[in-house]
Amino acid sequence: MSKLQQTFRLGKIKGIPIGVHFTWGIAFVLITMSLIGQFGEQHPGWSPVIRSAIGLVTSLLFFTSVILHELAHSAVALSRGIPVKSITLFVFGGISEVTREASTALSEFLIAVVGPLASLAIAGGFALMARSFPAEWTVAVAPCKWLATVNFWLALFNLIPGFPLDGGRVFRSILWAFKRDYEKATRISTTIGKTIAYGFIFLGAWITFGTNDGLVSGLWIVFIGWFLLNAAQQNVVQLDLRNALNGITAGDVMSRECHTVPRYLSLQDFVDDYLLKTGRRCYVVTDDHRVLGIITPREVSAVPRQDWGHVSIHAAMTPLERLKWISPQEPASRVLERMDAENVNQLLVMEDGRLLGLVARDGLLSRIQTFLTFQGKSG
Ligand SMILES: [Zn+2]
């Protein structure tokens, strides 16, 4: 799923950054307002302050439940060896961003199914709490009942068998195990996902225009459908990319033209004699054929211009120990995942301590493009 920008970091749980996207504010305000209104109608005896406080606390507990749902996915992903990059709350709920897809059907099944199960467990917990309080404690019973109901619906909604919902992933993992064909399983579950998304859009449109008081909830359903449709389409793009990269290794896509520069050169000389003259962007800094690090325009621009005359490239470069490297046999699809996971734009390709070349993000994309064009021509 695409990365969410404009995210506010809340903190970390078990090393996983938890954040809220700015669109989450919309959902939070709408749900809190609707809760305050709902509680006011059901419990006219509550003062406006109590009503607002309970509405706010219930809304916060609801979003805590959504985070717990995502944490359940993350915990299983981590236990199956898949690193989790972040959890983000946004307008339609939560997203766990993992650095790569599950490599087996069983992993995918477990990671997907645990989210709705967590929501069901949370619903059960709140239902028990609602029962354990005396009925006259409405300020405790009402929020627990609402949280039990909403978490129950959250579990059911997520179990709808259309990609990218959890149910769609569960469905895909079963197909994948059954047919032993990841691609076919993905295409089928994505088609179902799209059909369900169109269903949401038409249902939302019908509620918006066909009923008298359904404007807000109708539009909300249209947006959910639109979001699901986009996510399903994104998935097909990812699959095509994966296919395009199939059989290509890091060695195929690396550039061997990584030229070397001696370490004592000043930044000014490096800019004048190398960067500006050749137009190449990446250089390996060496000391008697020993690789020390790399230098690119990015490292140069980190040093103030007036210091370029007396700062050496050795001082400004990114040292070898901070560079990430891969072996030439590594599949190209892993290269992209590694770049995303490590948040870098180039990886060194090394074998037996020897530098063979460098893969840069832009070089990789042009290679993929060539492949896709070729594929298109051959029909
Ligand atoms: Zn989920």
Q: Could you state, in order of their start, the residue ranges of all structural domains in the chain?
A: 7-245, 250-377
> At residue 60, does pLDDT exceed 90?
yes
User: Which residues sit with Cβ closer than 5 angstroms to ligand 1, an ion?
Assistant: 115, 166
How many angstroms separate the CA atoms of 356 and 373, rounded? 28
Pair 59, 31: CB distance under 8 Å: yes
Choose which CATH entry (3.40.630.30, 3.40.50.300, 3.10.580.10, 3.40.50.360) describes domain 250-377: 3.10.580.10
Distance 155 CA to ligand 1 centre (A): 8
**Tokens coding 265:** 């050169």
pLDDT of residue 59: 92
pTM above 0.95, yes or no: no
**Tokens coding 244:** 């395009």
The DSSP call for residue 266 is B
Angle at 312 between CA 308 and CA 315, to 5 degrees: 110
Nearest to 95 by CA among 18, 14, 176, 159: 18
Distance 54 CA to ligand 1 centre (A): 26
End-to-end CA distance of the chain: 28
Q: What share of the chain is helix, strand, coil (3-state, %, to 5)?
A: 60, 15, 20
In the structure, what pLDDT confidence band is assigned to residue 281 with cuts at 50, 70 and 90?
confident
> At residue 217, does pLDDT exceed 50?
yes
For 234-263, give the DSSP string: HHHHHHHHHHHHTT-BHHHH-BS--EEEET
Distance 313 CA to ligand 1 centre (A): 48
**Tokens coding 305:** 């211009």
Distance 70 CA to ligand 1 centre (A): 6
Average pLDDT across the chain, whole number: 83
pLDDT of residue 367: 64
Torsion over CA of 20, 25, 30 and 33, rounded to 10 degrees?
Answer: 100
pLDDT of residue 201: 92
Distance 210 CA to ligand 1 centre (A): 31
> At residue 354, does pLDDT exceed 50?
yes
Q: What is the mean pLDDT of residues 33-55?
A: 87
